[in-house]
Structure 1
Amino acid sequence: MIKSPLRSAFALLLAIVPLLVAAPASATADQDKALAPDPIVFVHGWNPDASPWQNLAARFQADGWPADRLDRWSYDATQSNATTATRLADEIERVLALTGASKVDVITHSMGSLSSRYYLKHLDGAAKVDAWVSLGGPNHGTETARWCGGAPCVEMRPGSEFLKDLNSGDETPGTTRYGTWRSPCDNVINPTGSVALDGALNRTTACLGHSALRTDEAVYNEVRTHVR
């Protein structure tokens, strides 16, 4: 029996339609993935966990960052910042694998600046971090650290061997976009000028306390622009 041209054309159409439907769906998924913002890894300071990031992470989510791209990472803040940097390297690899992203943004507060900078400088982190943020980081040390003990406190003291190494040569290595925010009223970072880095976007905020750098709306808006 010879099939009519009309019947053959109809059969061909039935075979093609599923392909036409499936292709745009796949293309849309790939497009959405490409347009998604970089995952953000939040690195806290001398705190027991990442709970202080709740306010800032919620603002990013309200502004369109998917929840699975907002990683509030917790670590043991009593260990050396160099040790923490190796843990951070593992965490960033985990986030990249989970999200399929090629790079992350890193937002830090206080001591979190030091371990993340060590990662960027010594552990090839600059190739995997698009934008980096330091909110009140003791990048050149703080006199306040003379009142506490343990490896990380010793490393935060002005003139420490850790800081000499971290700040030798290029303070902002690689193609990462570095940004720092310091407050003239920060009673933890002393001197407040310690925060700024050569080669970074260095901002001075309104009169804010050390912890308020994480929650102030004006600071958030500037940070969001920097990482976007």
Structure 2
Amino acid sequence: MSIALQVENLNTFYGKSHILQGIGLEVREGEIVALLGRNGAGKSTTLKSVCGALRPAQGAIRFRGKDIAGWPAFRAAQEGLLLVPEDRGIFGLLTVEENLRISQRKGSPWSLKDIYRMFPRLEERRRNNGGQLSGGEQQMLSIARALLNHPRLLMLDEPVEGLAPVIVDEIVNQVLEIKQRGIPILIVEQNLAVCAKIADRNYIIELGKIAYHADAVTFANDDEARDRYLGVKAD
């Protein structure tokens, strides 16, 4: 399986604070990789550093064979490396359909028809303004916009945080369908039950460094690691 994204020795600062201290990870074509860790460990900073929203001080970022370290976010997005941020970033005064149409890139394999089939709630609310949507609907809209922008790798930052269980199940199914369409995914998520359903491999960040890496089966059976790094004890 070829490697879609490879990150080596990534170091990022906020001012004088050294947040990422040599992060290394990879995402292979056709898989979902979960990035786990306690609050403040550096998960979101990793995603932002990879896509160019933050400029890393050091490290290599190779995306589909190209060295993109230091690229601005718009250029990384043009290559198909897309981040769905935790704050969702939708336009509240535009309708759902307007949010979608302004995101559609020429040549994208995803059409508005595809989006409405995958996200029927968005079709039902296509004439509603983005600010009128529930949190779960806003999250779906944010993911849908990224799809219309022709992603070759999708990064999701806490996509189910604070959402009702029925909405979480919908988004899990939608993420799995995106994977089936051939798009690799790097996801930051605190919900271990969600990760167990979707992730092929798991990385854990602790204090700005990768402290643990395992495939899904190994991680599911590693009670000690979950307790040590995440504070989650086995039942």
TM-score when scaled to structure 1?
Answer: 0.34
Query: Greater RCO between the two (CA within 8 Å, min separation 6)?
Result: 2
TM-score when scaled to structure 2?
Answer: 0.33
Q: Give the number of the structure whose residues are more often helix, by fraction.
A: 1
